[in-house]
Amino acid sequence: MRDLTSDTITEAVISTMQDTKDCRLAEILESLVRHVHAFVRDVGLTEEEWARGVDFLTRTGRMCTPTRQEFILLSDVLGVTMLVDALSNRRPAEATQNSVLGPFFRDDRPQRPDAADISGGLPGTPLFFEGRVVDREGAPVAGAAVDVWHSDAEGRYDVDVPGRVDPAMRALLRTDETGHFGFRSIRPSSYPIPGDGTVGEYMNATGRSLMRPAHVHLLIEASGFQRVTTMLFPSDDPHLDSDPVFGVKESLVASYDTYEADDGPCRGLTDVPYTALRHTFVLEPLSAH
Ligand code: BEZ
Ligand code: FE
């Protein structure tokens, strides 16, 4: 292994890994080396560009803390998160599709009863959410654990609201015997993904928008079924076709119907105009995975 050239170095590197005991690891590493070398050749990467790339990745790592994961955000904006999800969770069109989990899930969320107000007293258009969880045949899935979380009317999560430490606009709910779950909150708004790090530099350099369309996140788990990590977007959101993390799917675009206080399915429950959102979530059995 001496006098390697740009023509021979790829095979030489791969040959050094031939004693890798874990077959899957060997497969991944060989492909990684082939693709990275091919990329370097393809663009004719210069030493200066290589150093810039190393600096970018170094600074990406330095941004990471227990509450800020810049590498996952980078994976999100490069479409890698949704690509891995698409390969891992192929579901028939009738089943509820996944989207990104995002960085704002908290496992210290409170468990709340049906129809609870989870707004934490924050101002905004009242939102009444009614969900149903069913299986492929339409039979109710009782006892499913449903996590919900969303931003406020200004696009901020509870963790971003100055001075707020208590969880708000998030809850763990359970479906009843009819598969129903529901809550009351405030209508979420669109918001930018964090742009003050290396991902922001990349988005700026490529002229991309940081704005995510508004959404309510849901994570649904029920015994015997595939876990669903998803979100519902309002059909009138202007950012649906430029989501920076590629999480929008047509089946997740929903009608956030708005009514006057004395009209619609929740008339009398509030004295200001409100939004009602109803959706049925269809779970796939684990065996179909
Ligand atoms: C979110 O929807 O919470 C989110 C997803 C990916 C990156 C940033 C935020
Ligand atoms: Fe979000």
pLDDT beyond 60 at 288: no
Q: Is 245 in the pocket of ligand 1 (CB under 6 A)?
A: yes
Answer whether residue 275 is part of any domain: yes
Verify whether ligand 1 is closer than 6 Å to residue 216 (CB atom).
Answer: no
Q: Ligand 1 atom closest to Cα of 217?
A: 2
Residue 177 confidence class, pLDDT cut points 50, 70, 90: very high
The pTM for the full model equals 0.93
Confidence category of residue 164, pLDDT binned at 50, 70, 90: confident
Q: CA-based diameter of the chain, in Å?
A: 82
In terms of residue numbers, what domain contains 255? 95-195+209-288
pLDDT of residue 166: 86
**Is it the case that residue 289 has pLDDT exceeding 80?**
no
The verdict on residue 36 lying in a domain is: no
Task: Examine residue 266 and state whether it is found in any structural domain, yes or no.
Answer: yes
Can you tell me the mean pLDDT for 180-194? 97
Residue 175 has pLDDT above 70, yes or no: yes
% residues pLDDT > 90 (the chain):
93
Check residue 162 and give its pLDDT. 79
pLDDT grade for 2, boundaries at 50, 70 and 90 = confident
Cα 38 to middle of ligand 2, angstroms: 35
**Which pLDDT score, from 0 to 100, does residue 67 have?**
86
User: Per the domain annotation, does 1 fall within a domain?
Assistant: no
Pocket test for ligand 1, best of 67, 98, 104 (most atoms within 8 A of CB): 104
Residue 21 counted as domain residue: no
Per the listing, tokens 């409170």 go with 110
Per-residue pLDDT band at 5 (split at 50, 70, 90)? very high
Query: Residue 231 CA: which ligand 1 atom is closest?
Result: 2
Ligand 1 centroid – CA 196 distance (Å):
15
Ligand 1 pocket check: which of 63, 76, 216 to mutate, most ligand atoms within 8 Å of Cβ? Answer: 76
Which residue(s) pair with 147 in the sheet? Answer: 172, 219
For residue 72, the ligand 1 atom closest to its alpha carbon is 7
Q: Whose Cα sits closest to atom 2 in ligand 1? A: 102
Mean pLDDT, range 84-102, rounded to an integer: 95
Q: State the distance from the centre of ligand 2 to the C-alpha of 147, rounded, in angstroms.
A: 13
The pLDDT mean for the chain works out to 96
Q: Give the pLDDT score at 196.
A: 96
pLDDT of 84: 97
Inside any domain, residue 83: no
11 lies in some domain: no
Q: Which of 212, 229, 233, 252 to mutate to test the pocket of ligand 1 (most atoms within 8 A of CB)?
A: 212
CATH classification of the domain holding 284: 2.60.130.10
| Residue 20 forms part of a structural domain | no
Q: Separation of 90 CA from ligand 2 center, angstroms? A: 23
Q: How confident is the model at residue 280 (pLDDT cuts 50, 70, 90)?
A: very high
Distance CA 42, CA 31 (A): 16
Share of the chain above pLDDT 70, in %: 99
Total of domains in the chain: 1
